[in-house]
Amino acid sequence: MLAVYASDPAASRGRRFAQPPAPGRTEYQRDRDRIVHCSAFRRLVYKTQVFLNHEGDLFRTRLTHSLEVAQLGRSIARSLGLNEDLVEAIALAHDLGHTPFGHAGQDALNECMAPFGGFEHNLQSLRVVDQLEERYPQFDGLNLTFETREGILKHCSRVHAEELEAGEPGGVGQRFLQDGQPSLEAQLCNLADEIAYNAHDIDDGVRSGLITLEQLQQVALFDDFKRQALAEFAHLQEPAAGRRLLYDSIRRMLSAQVEDVIGATLGALKKAAPHSANEVRQMPPLVQFGEDMKLKSQGLKHFLLHQLYRHPKVLHTTGQARRVLRSLFDAYLAHPREMQPRFVARFEALHAASDGSRGAARVIADYIAGMTDRFATREHERLMKLDLLVEPSRSMAVEAT
């Protein structure tokens, strides 16, 4: 049963290229199906979340992360009367634009692209579903509904929002220019993303040995639930039960966050009383944690930032990853024909145009962003053997002038 403020597929703002309805499926189910079948989705399995893909088989990848976001999102959506299919579609697509090597890859590509308009991963996820997937005879991309595309574009800089608005007036760029909000389903995906990575990064962090259960005593959100688990099951004290203690604490933490979001959001909805999905877009964000949980979640994020994401061992591998991406970018800029043929064709067509270097550099960014960790590593080795890796600073300076 959908609430009045839920997104109704029958009232969708539709697709950029009109298509007849699919028998037996709503428009958002169809979006979800298109996402699951696209190539960018399959590549998520070999992309880093925090730990590089080859560091261990049990760490989260972008794919398992996206599945966890979808699971959390759907279960909250059901309690709030929101559209589960739309939540699932957005959750499964939200990281499609991520580069190899996680945030380090992103930062590196953004630096390389600084003279050519920069690189934003949310915008790249939209590029994947709007332009880069080549599966249909009639159009580029997956031709998803407005509501799914709106949810995928979680953040966007003003300059990119203006570009989007110019190409699609009143489209997905508009809310960044008018300070509007997306649908409740999209708001929910943002929070489900946060809940998912906070929990699984604790798990992966402890598994990797980079953080310990003792250190986690500093984190109120985790420690409260660890105490609860120990009070209920005394045998979890034993060192051999360490993993069960970790899992039980995380499970309790996840449930508490889910319940908190449901309670706080129902409270906010009651107060704001939106009468339609569209009215929500003019209101402040409504999907939210309660005040106390918000602070505790920030405490956990702060801990993970300092103890895990900035751990010297993580910084060492991400530093290498950053160098790999920079040298790949520079090598393709100097030798574009080393890319796969369809990217070479796009590169050459754009390079001949008036604002050539900007568009052509974007083709390189698309190519690199689409790579898995292992493909990027192999390409780096291949180009090194061919002696095609150039000094990053030199080629950037030449191209930027």
Give the nearer residue to Mg ion in terms of CB position, either 65 or 226.
65
Closer residue to Mg ion (CB): 96 or 277: 96
Distances from the Cα of 210 to the Cα of 23, 100, 218, 224, angstroms: 50, 22, 15, 21
Kindly tell me which of 30 and 62 has the beta carbon lying closer to Mg ion: 62
Closer residue to Mg ion, CB minimum distance, 95 or 133: 95
- Which CB atom, from 26 or from 318, has the smaller least distance to Mg ion? 318
User: Taking contact as CB under 5 A, which single stretch among the options 95-103, 179-187, 311-319, 320-328 is the one that binds Mg ion?
Assistant: 95-103
- Min dist CB 390 to Mg ion, Å, is 33
**Total residues interacting with Mg ion, rule: CB under 5 A:** 2
Q: Identify residues 6-65 at the interface with Mg ion (CB under 5 A).
A: none
| Min separation Cβ 285 and Mg ion, Å | 18
Question: What residues numbered 340-369 form the site for Mg ion, per CB under 5 A?
Answer: none
Least gap, CB of 368 to Mg ion (angstroms): 19
Minimum Å gap between C-beta 65 and Mg ion is 6
For Mg ion, which residue has the nearest CB? 193
For Mg ion, give the closer residue by CB, 188 or 364. 188
CB nearer to Mg ion: give 84 or 95. Answer: 95
By CB under 5 A, what part of segment 174-203 binds Mg ion?
Answer: 193
* Distance (Å, whole) CA 59 – CA 206: 11
Determine if 379 is a binding residue for Mg ion (CB under 5 A).
no
Single out the segment in contact with Mg ion by CB under 5 A; choices: 94-102, 110-118, 144-152, 370-378. Answer: 94-102
Point out which span in 89-97, 215-223, 288-296, 337-345 binds Mg ion (CB under 5 A).
89-97
User: Of 90-98, 110-118, 130-138, 259-267, which part binds Mg ion (CB under 5 A)?
Assistant: 90-98
Beta carbon nearer to Mg ion, 70 or 221: 70
Residue closer to Mg ion (CB basis): 95 or 204: 95
Amino acid at 165: E
Cβ of residue 281: shortest distance to Mg ion, in angstroms? 22
| Three-state SS sequence of the chain | CCCCCCCCHHHCCCECCCCCCCCCCCHHHHHHHHHHCCHHHHHHHHCECCCCHHHCCCCCEHHHHHHHHHHHHHHHHHHHCCCHHHHHHHHHHCCCCCCCCHHHHHHHHHHHCHHHCCCCHHHHHHHHHHHHCCCCCCCCCCCCEHHHHHHHCCCCCHHHHHHHHHHCCCCCCHHHHHCCCCCHHHHHHHHHHHHHHHHHHHHHHHHHCCCCCCHHHHCHHHHHHHHHHHHHCHHHHCHHHHHHHHHHHHHHHHHHHHHHHHHHHHHHHHHHCCCCHHHHCCCCCCCCCCHHHHHHHHHHHHHHHHHHHCCHHHHHHHHHHHHHHHHHHHHHHHCHHHCCHHHHHHHHHHHCCCCHHHHHHHHHHHHHHCCCHHHHHHHHHHHHHCCCCCCHHHHHHHHHC
Q: Least distance from C-beta 47 to Mg ion, angstroms?
A: 11
Among 53-61, 93-101, 153-161, 209-217, which window interacts with Mg ion (CB under 5 A)? 93-101
> Which residues lie near Mg ion (CB under 5 A)?
95, 193
